[in-house]
Structure 1
Amino acid sequence: MFEKLKEIQAQSFKNFLPQNSHELEWSTVSNNTDKLNNDYTFAVTNYHLAYLASHYQVINASIILLSNNKPIAIWPLNLAKINDNWQIQSHCKGIMPPLFSSQLSDKHKKAIYKQCLSFISRCQQLFDIATLESTFEPNTDALWLQTIAPHISNINYKHTLYLNLEQSTEKIKASVRRRYRSYINKGLDLWDYSIGTSISADEIEEIRLFHVKTAGKETRSVETWQQQRNMVNNNQAFVVTLRDKQQTLIGAAIFNTTDSQGMYSVGIYERSLFELPIGHTVQMLAIEHMKKIGIEDYFIGYRDYEFEYHQPSEKQSAIGYFKEGFSNQIKLEANAKLIF
C-alpha cells in the first residue's frame, strides 16, 4: 500500500518531500505563516499518527510541497483502514487544506489545490474509498472552498469555541460564565496546583496511569503519551496538574501551543470528585499561563450543540456547554462530503 501511495503522490505533485524525517523543511513552512494552527505542527501530526496506529492500520501520507526546491506548503494527511475500509483524512477528521508560506500568491495556491484534488481523486480510486470529507474554516479557507465546490455533495457545520487572549486579563475573567468564577476560587483554595513546561518520564507515566484509572481502560498507546511528553519538553505544550492536600493527583490536562495559539489537548479528572470544580480550575490556570506567555487565541474545542449533524451524544453536548463557559468567540468549521 505504501508503494502505491508513493506512486500516486509522484503522479499528482511536481515536487514534494514526505513529512517523516523532514522536520526542518516542514518547520520552514509552519514558521513562516500568520498565526500557526496547532493542527499543522510537525509534533501534532506525529501524535495523531501514533494515536491512529494504536487502533488501526495507518500510513503517513503527509507531504511538504516544494517550488524551486524550497518548501512552500505542508499537508497533514494519513490513510487509515477503519472497519475494513480505507479512509484518507487529516489527523482524525476530514481532509484539511494545505498550509502555505505567507508570501505565496493566490494563483500559486490554486495550482497546488488542483494537484491536491488530483491526488485525492486518485486515492479514492486506488484504495476504493467510499466516503471523502474535507474539514476547513469557511472564513479563512475561502480559496479552498472555491476549488472543491464543484465536488461537494453536501456540507454541514460545527461550532468551535475560542477565547481571545489579546484582551486584558480583567476582560477575559469577566467573560467567563459568572458562576464559574466562584467555582475557580473554591478550587484554588481546595487544591495545590502546578504548571509544568517540562515533564519527566515518571511524571508522564503517573498521568497515563491516572488516565487508565479514570477511563477504566487503556484507550491509547504508551507512544502517544511519549509524544505528548516530547511536546512539553520541546516548548510545544504545557501541563497543568491539581493535587489534594495529601498530594494525590486529582486532575491533569495537557495544552498544545504554537507562538500564537493554545489548544486543549486532553483533560483527566478524578471521577469521584465530579461535583467539585476540578476542570474549571484547570482551565483558568491554563488560560492565565497562555496569557502570560503571549498566546493570542485559545482553541477550547467544539460546542457540540444537540441540533448539529452528526448529532452529538448527551455527554459530548454537556462537555461542550462546559467549554463554552470559558469562550468569548464562536467560529464555524465546515465538513463537506466530496464526490469525484
Structure 2
Amino acid sequence: MPMPEMKQMLEPAALQALLNDSRLDASLAHQQPQAWAQVWEGLTYRSVSYAPSSLAYQQAYLEDAGWQLQDISLILQTDGRPCGIFPLALGGPPASVSLSGFGGPLMAPLFVQGLSPNTVKKICARLLELLQMLAQRLGQNSLNLQQAVLPDQTALGLSEWSQQLLAAGASVTVKHDLFVDLSPSLDEIRAGFRKSFRPLINAGLRHWQVDLMDAAAADVAVWEELKALHLDVAGRKTRSDDSWQRQFAMIQAGEAFMVTLRDPETHRLVGAGVFQINRDEGLYGVGAYDRALFDKPLGHVVQQVAIEYLKRQGTRWYRLGERQFAQDQPTPSAKQLSISAFKQGFASHVFARPEFVWPMASGV
C-alpha cells in the first residue's frame, strides 16, 4: 500500500529563504555530511543521540511505524565555518506535519569547544527565530523542546539555549536521566550498584555463558538470533528488517556492541542487550530476555558486562535511560516504573533534563 502524501513538504529553497530571513548562517546537514563530522570531532561532549547513525536509525524506526519524515538538520556556522549541529525533522504520522527532534522534543544545538559566549548567544537567538518562522509556516501552535544532559557540563549551569527559551515565554517541566560515571575504578563502580544486585550478578556470571559482540566479532548469525528472540518476547514483529540492519551496521562500524547470555548446556540465546558507544557516552539501546526466565539474573549480568566494556574502551559516561516517576506526565505505566527503578540500581547519577513547551504567541 503506498504511503499517504505528506500534508506539506519544505523545499530546500523555501528553507533557505527562511534561513536568510532569520539571518542564521547555516546549511542543510544532509548536503554536507563532512561538516557534521567536523563539528562532531570538535564537541566537548558527544551525545549518542546526535550521531548520524542514531538519527538515521530513529528516522527508519519512525518510518516503519508509518511516519513520514524529512531530515532538515542544520550545520550551524560562524563566518562560514561549521561550529554547531542541530538535529531537526519535519513530518509525523500520516496527514500530520510538525517540527520535532526525530519523533521527540527538539534537541538543543551543540557547539564546538572554544566558541565565544557571544557567538553562541547570537546563534541561539537566530535559531529560535528560524524555528518560530517554521512553526508559523506549518501552523504549529507550540514547539516541544529539551536540553539534553551533558554530564561534563552540568556545573556550568543553565545553558544559553535554555535561558533564551525561558526568556521567550516557554514553560518548563523536568524529566530525569540515569547515568553511570565511568571514571572510577571498576571495583568502585560496582560498589555503587544496589546492594541486592551484587549477589545476583555473581550468580548470573556463574550460571550463563556470557559473550560480547563488537566490530571485531560482528556475526550476522548471532544478530539473527537476537531478532528471533525479540520476536518471540514481543509476540509479533515490531520492527522492520531495515531498522535491525542499521543497528547491526553500527556494531560493524564500532558504534555499538552487544552482550549475549546463553544457556551453557543448550547454547540457546536467553538474553541480550545492544549498546551504542562513542568516546564520551554509551547508551542502552534494545534488549530482549526470555520471559520464562524473568526470575533469573539476566539483565543484571548484561548491564555489568556492558559497563565493564565501556570502561575498557575509555568511554566517560554510560546513559541508562530515563528515570520515570509516578507523578510524571504523561503518567508512566507500572512496567515503565519498574524498568526505570531497575536501571537506577546501577546508576551513579540522576540528572535533571528540562523539557520546554514554547507557545508560538510568544516573541523571541
- Normalised to the residue count of structure 2, the TM-score between the two structures is 0.88
Percent same amino acid among aligned pairs? 29
Cross-structure match for 1:260: 280
Q: For residues 191-227 of structure 1, give each alpha carbon's deviation from its aligned partner in whole angstroms, at most 9, with x where no partner exists.
A: 1111111223333232222212211122222111111
Q: Does 1:271 align with 2:281?
A: no
Q: For residues 264-300 of structure 1, give each alpha carbon's deviation from its aligned partner in whole angstroms, at most 9, with x where no partner exists.
A: 1111111111111100000000001111111111111
Q: Which moved more, 1:282-291 or 1:3-12?
A: 3-12
Q: Does 1:161 align with 2:178?
A: yes
Cross-structure match for 1:147: 164
Distance 1:17 1:209, change over 3 A: farther
1:236 to 244, 255, 266: 255
Cross-structure match for 2:225: 206
- Kindly state the Cα deviation for residue 141 of structure 1 after the two structures are TM-superposed: 5.1
Cross-structure match for 2:205: 188
1:43 to 53, 58, 72: 53
SS of structure 2 residue aligned to 1:20: helix
Q: Does 1:285 align with 2:305?
A: yes
1:25 to 25, 35, 39: 35
- Kindly state the Cα deviation for residue 126 of structure 1 after the two structures are TM-superposed: 1.9
Alignment of structure 1 residues 294-305 onto 2, 5 Å: 294-305=314-325
Check the 8 A contact 2:68/2:94 in 1, yes or no.
Answer: no
Q: Does 1:7 align with 2:14?
A: yes
Alignment of structure 1 residues 293-332 onto 2, 5 Å: 293-332=313-352
- What one-letter code is carried by the residue in structure 2 that aligns with 1:101? V
Distance 1:137 1:228, change over 3 A: closer
Check the 8 A contact 2:18/2:133 in 1, yes or no.
Answer: no
Check the 8 A contact 2:19/2:26 in 1, yes or no.
Answer: no
Q: Which runs of 5+ in 2 are unaligned?
A: 1-7
SS of structure 2 residue aligned to 1:305: coil
Distance 1:21 1:205, change over 3 A: farther
Check the 8 A contact 1:9/1:119 in 2, yes or no.
Answer: no
- What one-letter code is carried by the residue in structure 1 that aligns with 2:328? E
Check the 8 A contact 1:8/1:122 in 2, yes or no.
Answer: no
SS of structure 1 residue aligned to 2:42: coil
Q: For residues 64-104 of structure 1, give each alpha carbon's deviation from its aligned partner in whole angstroms, at most 9, with x where no partner exists.
A: 12334321111111123236432311133211111111121
- What one-letter code is carried by the residue in structure 2 that aligns with 1:76? P
Whole-Å separation in 2 of the counterparts to 1:110 and 1:153: 17
- What one-letter code is carried by the residue in structure 2 that aligns with 1:276? K
- What one-letter code is carried by the residue in structure 1 that aligns with 2:90? L
Whole-Å separation in 2 of the counterparts to 1:257 and 1:63: 23
Whole-Å separation in 1 of the counterparts to 2:54 and 2:317: 17
Q: Which runs of 5+ in 1 are unaligned?
A: none
Check the 8 A contact 1:211/1:268 in 2, yes or no.
Answer: yes
- Kindly state the Cα deviation for residue 6 of structure 1 after the two structures are TM-superposed: 4.8
Check the 8 A contact 1:194/1:242 in 2, yes or no.
Answer: yes
Q: Does 1:132 align with 2:139?
A: no
Distance 1:187 1:78, change over 3 A: same
Count of residue pairs the alignment pairs up = 340
Alignment of structure 1 residues 71-82 onto 2, 5 Å: 71-82=82-93
- Kindly state the Cα deviation for residue 154 of structure 1 after the two structures are TM-superposed: 2.4
Alignment of structure 1 residues 96-107 onto 2, 5 Å: 96-107=107-118
- What one-letter code is carried by the residue in structure 1 that aligns with 2:249? N
- What one-letter code is carried by the residue in structure 2 that aligns with 1:308? D
Distance 1:175 1:266, change over 3 A: same
- Normalised to the residue count of structure 1, the TM-score between the two structures is 0.94
Check the 8 A contact 1:136/1:333 in 2, yes or no.
Answer: yes
- Kindly state the Cα deviation for residue 153 of structure 1 after the two structures are TM-superposed: 4.2
Whole-Å separation in 1 of the counterparts to 2:233 and 2:338: 18
Whole-Å separation in 1 of the counterparts to 2:134 and 2:75: 18
**Structural RMSD (CA):** 1.8
- Kindly state the Cα deviation for residue 313 of structure 1 after the two structures are TM-superposed: 1.0
Whole-Å separation in 2 of the counterparts to 1:188 and 1:292: 18
Q: For residues 155-200 of structure 1, give each alpha carbon's deviation from its aligned partner in whole angstroms, at most 9, with x where no partner exists.
A: 2111111111101111111100111111111111111111111223
